[in-house]
Chain A
Amino acid sequence: MPMRRVFIAGASLLKVDEYWGDTIDSMVTEVVDGLGETRPWRIDSIYVANAVGEVLQGQANLGALVAENLGLAGVPSLRVEAGGASGAAALLTGYQAILSGLANTVLVVGVEKLSDATPEEAVMMPTLSERYDYVGFQGATEASIAAMMYRIYLEKFELPQEMVAQFPVIMHEHASKSPHAQYQFKTTLENVLSSPVVSPPLRRLETTSPADGAAAVLLCSSDTLSKLPHERAVELVGAASSTDFIFPFEREDPLRLTAAARAFNEALAKSGLSKEDIKILEIHDSYSIIASLILESIGYSAPGSSGVDAKNGAYDHGGKVVVNTFGGLKARGHPLGATGVYQAAEIFLQLTEKAGPCQVDGAKVGGMISLSGLGSSAYTLVMREV
């Protein structure tokens, strides 16, 4: 029996923003309506990605809730939670469902509303992905742990902070042309390095801020693709996931994101493609230092040299791979559980030449890496134009 193939027939996303008047329900219906003519007509399964709905909105059971909202009560539907990687986890689950032969059409919807949080709750939400009865009760935050990784990184490689702090500048540059980005303005290295300190050496402009967002992707098998109204599709040629110790300082090397490396290498191996084929890469830059550590852990830069490579343009238009073409977590925004679905939708836009001013010319293969916590789980998806 030939290997089944998995395609993305359509994608939709809302501008990452603060939607005070909207609910999870209204955001989901709006983003799925945005699928247009590929709007689901016959769905075998729905996967809803969301990280903290029961904490901030007091709402669990999002599978049934979303199915009902979409007029699809009756369709199997469940919520997938893997912290900040929930969206990518839902995509991987949908991919596996189609590969298994048990489903032909899968709707993946990511939704998150962080604007309901107080400032202290907004700090707590990402920290829920750490061990809360250990790290949380000491008052440590995810940002503070990232800051300590940042500190030992700068010390180990004897680098000035600007080597890492330039990543937000690149992200804002990309987001300045992105209509769905949360922050559509450019910034400078001076601005980043003079923004308020969150946890030294980490500065405000090296982190993300609370955001609401929803994105949807329609996955299907070859059979369904031929029957589904759509313009252009993208093939999902590889996907993989891995996990690691949750607290980075209990890993063999706190500066190596082993889960990201394993997920990336395995997804790439499944795709039959090589790293050089990937021309656009959406990475999980939840903190500037995490952008550096991802690029070094998956082998695009040698340890300690992602900053030099970035300075030389390796990760910008014209470089070896364009990273975060719509601004990434830093500037497109990071609506926690929805973020992975945004990454996939953005690669879909790139490979179908619908990326507008953010278009990377000649992009035929795109990859994404999504993390929960500070690399305790990692997901990679590789997509190719068809």
Chain B
Amino acid sequence: MHSIFRPPINWRHRRFRYRLVVWRCLNCGAVHHNATKICRRCRSNRLAEDQLPSRARLLTYTVVKNPPVAFERQAPYIVGVVEFEDGTRLLTGITDCEPEELKPGMELERVVRRLTEDGESGLIVYGYRFRPVLKKR
């Protein structure tokens, strides 16, 4: 079974994947997606849970036309790198728009989406994605 469809893996990552709960270093501010005792940037052991903001700016993006296992039916789809106000960068799928609508620097917001599923009766994988902020009329 592909690791992406293993229920325990999805379960243990649920807070990061649905709400962007991360471990932040209290010394240098570096962000970690998995629980850790050692900061990967400064080696401090002072870390605490934090949540990344729900908005970020687009740094760059591309389109996946040749998908990997588990994403066969989605291609083509957009992936990008977003940057939060504190400088933290995050890789993310980008949804609810066409590539032509994207401009580096534009504001994006976090949503939760169905990412893929393991056939008819297998696990459904959910996770964060970002989309352009809807403009108020």
Contact = CB atoms under 8 A, between A and B. Distances in A.
A120 B4 contact: no
B68 A141 contact: yes
A118 B72 CA distance: 11
B3 to A, nearest CB: 6
A141 B91 contact: no
B63 interface: yes
B93 to A, nearest CB: 5
B68 A139 contact: yes
A124 B80 contact: no
Contacts of B60: 148, 151-152
A253 to B, nearest CB: 12
A133, A137, A141, A200 pick with most chain B CB within 10 angstroms:
A137
Nearest to A145: B91
A293 B113 CA distance: 35
Contacts of A145: 91
B127 interface: yes
Contact of A199 (B13, B64, B74): B64
Contact of A249 (B17, B63, B68, B91): B91
A141 B59 contact: no
9 contacts: A123-B67, A131-B33, A133-B34, A134-B91, A137-B127, A141-B68, A147-B62, A196-B65, A199-B64
Contact of A120 (B63, B67, B79): B67
A327 to B, nearest CB: 22
A137 B4 contact: yes
B64 A141 contact: yes
A158 interface: no
Interface string A120-134: 110110010001111
Contacts of B72: 120
A269 interface: no
Given A132-B3, A147-B62, A148-B61, A139 B91 contact: no
Interface residues of B, number: 37
B66 interface: yes
Interface in A116-166: 118-121, 123-124, 127, 131-141, 143-145, 147-148, 151-152
Given A135-B91, A148-B81, A249-B91, A143 B17 contact: no
B89 A249 contact: yes
A228 B92 CA distance: 55
A124 B69 CA distance: 6
A11 to B, nearest CB: 34
Contact of B62 (A131, A144, A196): A144
A143 B76 CA distance: 14
Given A127-B68, A144-B64, A144-B79, A137 B125 contact: yes
Contacts of A199: 62-66
B115 A123 contact: no
Nearest to B30: A250
Contacts of B79: 138-140, 144, 148
A138 B93 contact: yes
A141 B4 contact: no
Given A120-B72, A249-B59, A141 B81 contact: no
A120, A138, A141, A196 pick with most chain B CB within 10 angstroms:
A138
Interface in B67-126: 67-72, 74, 77, 79-81, 89, 91-93, 99, 115-116, 125
Nearest to A147: B62
Contact of B77 (A123, A139, A196, A202): A139
A198 interface: yes
A196 B65 CA distance: 10
Contacts of A196: 65
A308 interface: no
Contacts of B134: none
A121 B3 CA distance: 13
B1 interface: no
Interface in A87-142: 118-121, 123-124, 127, 131-141
A135 B68 CA distance: 12
A60 interface: no
Contacts of B92: 138
A152 B65 CA distance: 19
Given A134-B33, A134-B91, A140 B64 contact: yes
B69 A121 contact: yes
Given A120-B68, A247-B91, A250-B89, A139 B74 contact: yes
A119 B72 CA distance: 10
A121 B72 CA distance: 10
A181 B62 CA distance: 31
B115 A136 contact: no
A55 B9 CA distance: 18
